[in-house]
Amino acid sequence: MKQITVLAVLLISAGFLNAQDASATAVSIMNSAKNRIQMDTISSRSRMVITAKDGSTTERVIDQYSKDGPNGARTVIVFQRPSNVAGTRFLTMDNAGGSSDRWIYLPSLGKVRRIAASESGGSFMGTDFSYDDISTMDRDISLDTHTLLREETLNGKACYVIQSVPKDSSFQYSKIIAWIDKTSFLIYKSEMYNRREELAKIMEMTSFSDVQGRLTPMQTKVSTVGAGTSTTIYMEIIKYDDPIPEAVFTTAYLETGKVR
């Protein structure tokens, strides 16, 4: 893992680094943030609370399994409760070129359906998360151009503020701005801007706990700006490095819910 040097930080503060050096420093910060937790797999159970504009809430319970593959991250999400979404299963797999393939199984349809690229910005199961948002945390840093905008304090923590602009204009957002702890490289907050350069969503990660020696956000909230809605994920169980069969990351598993 590449670490940013104290000298580099001092030079940036003094304004002595040129644009190329500053860009390299921003990449180093993002590398440290993205690679902060080293693991082979993640298995979790979460409670998802969806808050409507009128303040009413609905809850869902989901299981999630993630594992690196030859081309990047692979994630399966299984809805357990309530009954109207139970049995819904979703799979996303990163490709070598940076795009992702996505499939969903809906019990009401009784078959697996591929999610088209044109749907990537759409709501994921009625939440404030889009299909792109599900993959954003595992997004390869080489897909974006990173810039260190400034340093500032957020909730009493000294942070780097990094802007990431997608190199591919087909991505849902025109840019993402992240607040990253200068000491721990925890990502506390991200602002996502739509293609019109308007603030569209805010993602906040809080309640960090030590899980198997890794500081892990136990609460993640995504708010849709202007809509007055939000979706909060409360982590209830999380395990790192538990074996996950390869067969879980297949459309056959989506259809049956069983490992063959």
The per-residue pLDDT for 222 is 96
**Across 168-192, average pLDDT:** 93
**Across 227-246, average pLDDT:** 96
Residue 154 lies in a domain: yes
36-60 pLDDT tens trace? 988 899 999 999 999 999 999 999 9
Instruction: Flag the least confident range among 5-14, 34-43, 175-184.
Output: 5-14
Interatomic CA distance for residues 246 and 235, integer angstroms: 24
Tell me how crowded residue 196 is: count the other CB atoms within 10 A of its CB.
Answer: 7
Residue 206, CA atoms < 13 Å, CB-side half-sphere: 9
11-31 pLDDT tens trace? 333 343 444 455 569 999 999
**Across 3-14, average pLDDT:** 36
State the sign of the Cα–Cα–Cα–Cα dihedral 82, 83, 89, 90.
negative
Number of domains forming the structure of the chain: 1
Determine the 3-state secondary structure of 133 from DSSP: helix
Query: Number of helices and strands (H, E) in the chain?
Result: 4, 13
Residue 99 lies in a domain: no
Interatomic CA distance for residues 226 and 200, integer angstroms: 8
Instruction: Give the confidence band of 196 by pLDDT, cuts at 50, 70, 90.
Output: very high
Torsion of CA 112, 118, 121, 125, to 10 degrees: -20
The H-assigned helical ranges of the chain are 6-14, 19-34, 131-136, 251-256
The per-residue pLDDT for 133 is 85
CATH number, domain of 160, equals 2.50.20.10
The per-residue pLDDT for 137 is 67
> Based on the number of CB atoms within 10 Å of its own CB, is 164 exposed (0-12), middle (13-18) or buried (19 or more)?
buried
Full residue range of the structural domain in which residue 199 is found: 6-37+138-239
Residue 194 lies in a domain: yes
The per-residue pLDDT for 102 is 93
Mean pLDDT (the chain, rounded): 88
Instruction: Give the confidence band of 8 by pLDDT, cuts at 50, 70, 90.
Output: very low
Instruction: Give the confidence band of 136 by pLDDT, cuts at 50, 70, 90.
Output: low
**Across 160-180, average pLDDT:** 93
155's tokens: 């909730």
**Is residue 132 within 8 Å of 172, Cβ to Cβ?**
yes
Residue 111 lies in a domain: no
Residue 83 lies in a domain: no
Percent of the chain with pLDDT over 70: 89
Residue 218 lies in a domain: yes
What's the angle, vertex CA 142, arms to CA 30 and CA 158, rounded to 5?
10
Interatomic CA distance for residues 68 and 45, integer angstroms: 19
Residue 66 lies in a domain: no
The per-residue pLDDT for 168 is 85
**Is residue 27 within 8 Å of 163, Cβ to Cβ?**
no
Residue 29 lies in a domain: yes
**Across 181-201, average pLDDT:** 96
The per-residue pLDDT for 246 is 95
145-155 pLDDT tens trace? 999 999 999 99
